[in-house]
Structure 1
Amino acid sequence: MTRLTPISTRPTGHNGSSLPPRTGGGDDGHSGRDGGDSKPDFMPNYGERLRRARLGLAVAMTPILMLFISFTAAYLVRRGFLTFDLSNNAYVRTWLPVRLPWFWLLANSAVLILSSVSIEFARRDITRQSALAPLQSIPGISLGDERHFPWLGVTTVLGCTFLAGQLFLWSQLAARGFHLNTSPSSSFVYFLTGMHALHLAGGALALAFADVATLLHRPIESRRIVVDITAWYWHCMTGLWIYILALFTFAAQ
């Protein structure tokens, strides 16, 4: 025969009720992942932040590339545009080729390419520092006093040199008689190089921000994101400049 136990004699929990304690073996939603009272981990996921930043850069570069492609189309269409000459009773091309200072143009291009190489070294160096940073917090492990070459500073100097070279090239064009409103061809040259210089100046500001963050010893992961995105943006600007040079070479034929 089954024997019933009175309620008053049933074993109770530590809270004095007949129910099991709320903080038993289960997860009540208030404890940490390990079952203790530790707080949730709110450390940022730097890998996810880097991927999002790169995606944002790709989205931002799309309208910039479309802008230069549209200017290229207008440049080529205007170059081949024919006007009717009443004196000769025939269609003639009125495009006036611009005599570019190719020596200084190529020298300035070499400066930009060197800056792209130096910022790539900076990106790889800070990626290595970020990978080794967790080891420095382990007791008994010492990586020594590593000295890092100031690749960011070199890139900043080279970038500013390129922008100063652009001003010099424009003065050379003006000395040859090609001003902004001289002809449609000279207008396109000033506009394409000016738009490129404007976008590169934005990258130079990002470089300056990364330099300041380095001097202030900001967290390595945050600096890594800034340097990584600036480096890929800088590479895009270098490739875009080579594209503009190829366009000018084609138009000079």
Structure 2
Amino acid sequence: MAQRVLEQMKSLEATRTAGGNGPRAPAGNGGGSGWSREEAAPAATVRVGLWFLLTAVTMLFIAFTVAYAARRTAPDWAPIALPPILWVNTGLLGASSATLEWARRRGRRGDAAGVRGGLTVTTLFGAAFLVGQIAAWRELAAAGVFMATSPHSAFFHLLTAVHGLHLLGGLGALGYALRRTAAPAPAGPVLGGEDLTSAVLGSVAIYWHFLTVLWLYVFFIIWS
């Protein structure tokens, strides 16, 4: 699902690039966005796609929660000892959310360099989180705990895998946002308006914060 939204963003970018007749002038006299107002419609499409994605992911994890709660009451439920590295991973994801929020706020001030730096650090933290999740799986495997070992281990692998796949899509979206902010733009607060670049940056930030909160929820239910 995250990949579909990312592909939609790239399609909109291709349409904008192909449909223009040379560089576009900034809207207004330096106080508005550095991108054309013609991008307002694609920007709205990005936001609609984002909320559709968040709704779908929320419904998916609600279904997982219902199944988890029902299965947990079975007599064969046997909790597994979870790897302590999950706490480190949680800290990494929380830090990535903080750096992305910092980047988004720098964008409101027209600080393109600050945005690129924040996006880069966020991407590194996000990648480190996924590496840590793989390390947690390997630690469980070394202890003889696999997906088929018990219902609890099955849900652990399922929930962390699905969350990890969505976060992998988020890393792709971060890369796309980084590419857009690295593109040449007219002088002025090019990231401060309601243009396509701002919509992409804002949407990626919302999606990433959502995944951070979702992980805290998943971490809570599998640990409790």
Is structure 2 residue 86 aligned with structure 1 residue 112? no
> Deviation string for 1:12-39 (max 9, x for gaps)?
xxxxxxxxxxxxxxxxxxxxxxxxxxxx
The residue type paired with residue 97 of structure 1 is: P
- Give the aligned length: 181
Q: Distance in 1 between matches of 2:218 and 2:63?
A: 13
Q: What runs of 5+ residues in structure 2 fail to find an aligned partner?
A: 1-35
Shift in Å at residue 245 of structure 1? 1.1
Identity %: 38
The residue type paired with residue 120 of structure 1 is: E
Is structure 2 residue 76 aligned with structure 1 residue 94? yes
Q: Distance in 1 between matches of 2:159 and 2:133?
A: 12
SS, match of residue 80 in structure 2: coil
Is structure 2 residue 154 aligned with structure 1 residue 187? yes
Give the structure 1 partner of residue 136 of structure 2: 169
Q: Distance in 2 between matches of 1:65 and 1:210?
A: 23
| Larger RCO: 1 or 2 (CA < 8 Å, sep 6+) | 2
Question: For 2:170, which of 203, 210, 216 is the aligned residue?
Answer: 203
SS, match of residue 60 in structure 1: helix
Give the structure 2 partner of residue 223 of structure 1: 197
Q: What runs of 5+ residues in structure 1 fail to find an aligned partner?
A: 1-41, 82-92, 131-145
Is the Cα contact below 8 Å between 2:39 and 2:196 reproduced in 1? no
Q: Distance in 2 between matches of 1:177 and 1:215?
A: 46
Q: Distance in 2 between matches of 1:170 and 1:147?
A: 37
Is structure 2 residue 61 aligned with structure 1 residue 68? yes
Is structure 2 residue 104 aligned with structure 1 residue 123? yes
Q: Distance in 2 between matches of 1:116 and 1:182?
A: 33
Shift in Å at residue 45 of structure 1? 5.8
SS, match of residue 72 in structure 1: helix
Shift in Å at residue 51 of structure 1? 4.7
Is the Cα contact below 8 Å between 2:120 and 2:178 reproduced in 1? yes
Q: Which has the higher helix share?
A: 2
Shift in Å at residue 49 of structure 1? 5.0
Shift in Å at residue 234 of structure 1? 0.2
**Correspondences of 1:7-86 after superposition (within 5 Å):** 43-44=37-38, 46=40, 50-81=43-74
